[in-house]
Chains A and B, each alone.
Chain A
């Protein structure tokens, strides 16, 4: 296949960026989207041009590092699939594909398609944990947990922290990401003692980082590669109200 690319190039955080045209020939349908970028970068380097910078690591859809907006959609056209797991068989010979970085005030571009997502780490540091020091734990089977609850918590916990939800949202809201962690811990008995202080602290940090407000459009969940459900946001909203109520008591 032959593919035409329009890729966002931006020298660094302070420079302006723009879309640049590239052609990639001999694309095999079995290639992953990122392998197509590898091939292109190899050609560019040999020609003495600058390769395109993009984030990636595991290439298995689990580390959350890859992050491309492909034809306007974070992680591209398929549902439940990260950029690195997208394969060229999803495209046609001669297609033109536009590739851009995540766009959000809280995720400034570092170079080309690479953005800074450390805001997510700071939100977790604000409260996305259970305060248990190493060695404090009782025997794991002392506290039975209903299978449904454990499974539910697992579904929320499968968020990979990629930030596609933010990139998909017209307000660049981080509600889906934050709610996934809040819900995971709220659904487990171990998470109860800090349940309300946690949600309050995480939401406060989220606001501080400059993420936008949630207007319940649902684009986040639709584009989320792990199909994190909107019910997480509903749970978080409920817990947040409760937290504010408790604070005012």
Chain B
């Protein structure tokens, strides 16, 4: 049984007690303690800045050319915080409750409560850094709603919230770089962890410009390397997003928690053809002002503007009157799939539903008309005023939609379909965010911790910054205070030598195969298996097939992949090959995990386990646990369980009706 090290005591006091009793490291010792931070997204950049401010010596890494380009930059809709600025009944408890319920009762109470507690400080910190959140005319911060909640607690900056938050964290990071307390290594990819006497003591990283392997020592290593949604090939993640750092750590002893928990986001731009390299999200915030529908008639080919109101089925509003268009993502995605599978899909592929803004444009337009004293405004004038409001809120998203599809969403309904977006699963961590390898931590999307089987919108940004700014600065002390006597270990230590040789072996092997098929072609095939058999709906037969297919594909990869060029040059194909090699192992574990979890919960929908209405049916008697997998060897994992106890929330069947 795994120990999550949740502090004793009432839920409201666990974190404050922890903070006041955790051992401290005095400033002069901090200067001798080195921390390696892999990743410069919200989690990594905030951790690097916060730890350097405290006095630790930090080295930070990212594979892009600048830390500012980490994929957090692409987050659109917003960040949650229990500020209750809207006076609509929000509180720490309610954010805690919504997150546990939204996650379908598969997350840890202690961690989630802490997250809700620190959420408010995040907004304060970001505003102090100059993050230009949206504001009301009175000069105070504005909020919007997100799915799975009935309060307005989401802070935002147009449809570019991730960008603004990351640039805030990045500027704090660069400030420390300027002061010499952080050394930044961009275009560096971590390819292994170095362990000495069981503890994480460093990493091997590839300099992506020269191709050389480099060694770095650290008293602790923080993996802040993001999610692994790209195992599906097509996802809303950036092209470079990968699992390699976490996976190599997993193979060194870090357990992988709930790897099958994947979030499929309901509102993405549909696939347009075989050339498709990635999918683009249309933020959940659009569901604030957009209504999702399909024609009532199957195979209705009319243009959406020609389909009158009474012939439209606003199926979310029909099926879930209490939450309507704001049901959580897993529910909305499955509902879209159900309608398309039943023959009501729209667009060229018939694998899409409509998202329409006209209703709310008119609503906003009327408010504007009244405000401006235009009592007799025509419908066209009202619509125009409404469009301007929508433009201010979501302009960049509408532009993006137009760029990609060639259609103007101000004039016609958007076509959308679910796509892989986020991974709730990740490296298992305890309350301190430490993995099962001492000295190795995992923060942000890369860990499994807070979102259970389904993440609520606007909660990943919150978690990334909570982990980096407000959790790790405290929890790392409980480990490093015992390390003050450990001198920096020279990187010619045999453990570094051995780790480097292992990595070198993998790279040489990849280049040496000189087969006939491209890395991309393998990645696409893996993605198809995962999407078809471990995607929005899963069943025993499909998962068993997928496991065999992935194994076969992996064998084919290792005998027939073609990686052009050599190692010691700028060689993106080689880097991609090493990432896809890891996806080919991860995919198998995801299917094993999905097969093991013979219940439906959140985004994990086992067809064998559903209610009469087709909703996810949990099996709390048998599956109220975190599945944490230990790597034993190729295709061989051992399951460890962390029992989930609900002491503050009554566990219930989720209902958004």
Contacts and interface: CB of A to CB of B under 8 A. Distances in A.
Interface of A: 11-12, 28-32, 34-36, 38-39, 42, 44-46, 48-51, 53, 55-65, 80-81, 85-87, 89, 110-111, 114, 116-118, 120-121, 124-141, 143-147, 150-151, 153-154, 157-158, 160-161, 184-185, 188, 190-191
Nearest to B139: A144
Highest count of chain B CB atoms <10 Å: which of A62, A130, A135: A62
A44 B564 CA distance: 10
A137 B125 contact: yes
B136 interface: yes
B164 A157 contact: yes
A142 B139 CA distance: 10
A137 B170 CA distance: 17
A154 B140 CA distance: 15
A139 B132 contact: no
Contacts of A131: 175
Nearest to A140: B127
Contacts of B66: 64, 117-118, 120-121, 161
Given A150-B134, A157-B164, A63 B520 contact: no
Contacts of B157: 154, 157
A45 B569 contact: no
Contact of A110 (B172, B209, B240): B209
Query: Which of B123, B128, B140, B570 lies at the interface centre, i.e. has the most chain A CB atoms within 10 A of its CB?
Result: B128
A5 B139 CA distance: 51
B209 A50 contact: no
A125 B177 CA distance: 6
Interface in B135-176: 135-141, 157-158, 160, 162-164, 167, 170-172, 174-175
B124 A140 contact: yes
22 contacts: A30-B272, A31-B275, A32-B277, A48-B564, A51-B572, A59-B278, A59-B280, A62-B163, A85-B404, A110-B209, A111-B569, A121-B184, A125-B177, A132-B125, A132-B129, A134-B470, A137-B121, A141-B85, A144-B140, A154-B164, A190-B128, A190-B129
B518 to A, nearest CB: 5
Given A63-B64, A134-B469, A161-B68, A58 B133 contact: no
B406 interface: yes
B153 to A, nearest CB: 13
Given A129-B174, A150-B134, A188-B132, A28 B68 contact: no
B573 interface: yes
Contact of B570 (A28, A64, A110): A110
A135 B125 CA distance: 7
B512 interface: no
B573 A85 contact: no
A188 B130 contact: yes
Interface of B: 46, 49-50, 53, 64-69, 71, 73-74, 83, 85, 121, 123-130, 132-141, 157-158, 160, 162-164, 167, 170-172, 174-175, 177-178, 184, 186, 209, 238-240, 272-273, 275-278, 280-281, 399-400, 403-404, 406, 469-470, 473, 516-518, 520-521, 562, 564-565, 569-570, 572-573
Contacts of A154: 132, 134, 157-158, 164
Contact of B564 (A38, A50, A141): A50
A16 B65 CA distance: 22
Contacts of B46: 134
B160 A124 contact: no
A53 B53 contact: no
Contacts of A161: 66, 68-69
A147 B132 CA distance: 10
A51 B141 CA distance: 48
B134 A58 contact: no
B134 to A, nearest CB: 7
A141 B238 contact: no
Given A63-B238, A135-B121, A39 B275 contact: yes
The 5 closest A-B pairs by CB, nearest first: A144-B139, A137-B128, A129-B171, A125-B178, A137-B124
Contacts, number: 227
A209 B469 CA distance: 31
Contacts of A145: 135, 139
Nearest to A67: B65
B135 A55 contact: no
Contacts of B278: 59
B128 A130 contact: yes
B280 A157 contact: no
A117 B65 CA distance: 7
B636 to A, nearest CB: 33
Contact of A46 (B53, B160, B562): B562
B635 to A, nearest CB: 29
Given A130-B171, A135-B125, A121 B68 contact: yes
A59 B239 contact: yes
A50 to B, nearest CB: 6
Residue among B85, B137, B277, B565 with most chain A CB within 10 A = B277
Contacts of B406: 29-30, 87, 89
A139 B120 CA distance: 8
Contacts of B239: 56-59
Contacts of A144: 135, 138-140
A57 B277 contact: no
Given A31-B275, A63-B71, 8 more contacts: A30-B273, A57-B240, A87-B404, A125-B175, A154-B157, A157-B132, A190-B129, A190-B130
A67 to B, nearest CB: 9
Contacts of A137: 121, 124-125, 127-128
B408 to A, nearest CB: 14
Nearest to B562: A45
Contacts of B68: 64, 121, 124, 161
A140 B83 contact: yes
B520 A42 contact: yes
A81 to B, nearest CB: 6
A118 B65 contact: yes
A34 B238 CA distance: 13
B522 to A, nearest CB: 12
B42 to A, nearest CB: 13
Most chain A C-beta atoms within 10 Å of own C-beta, residue among B132, B157, B174: B132
A55 B569 CA distance: 15
Given A12-B570, A64-B68, A130-B130, A28 B400 contact: no
B125 A50 contact: no
Nearest to B68: A161
A60 B74 contact: yes
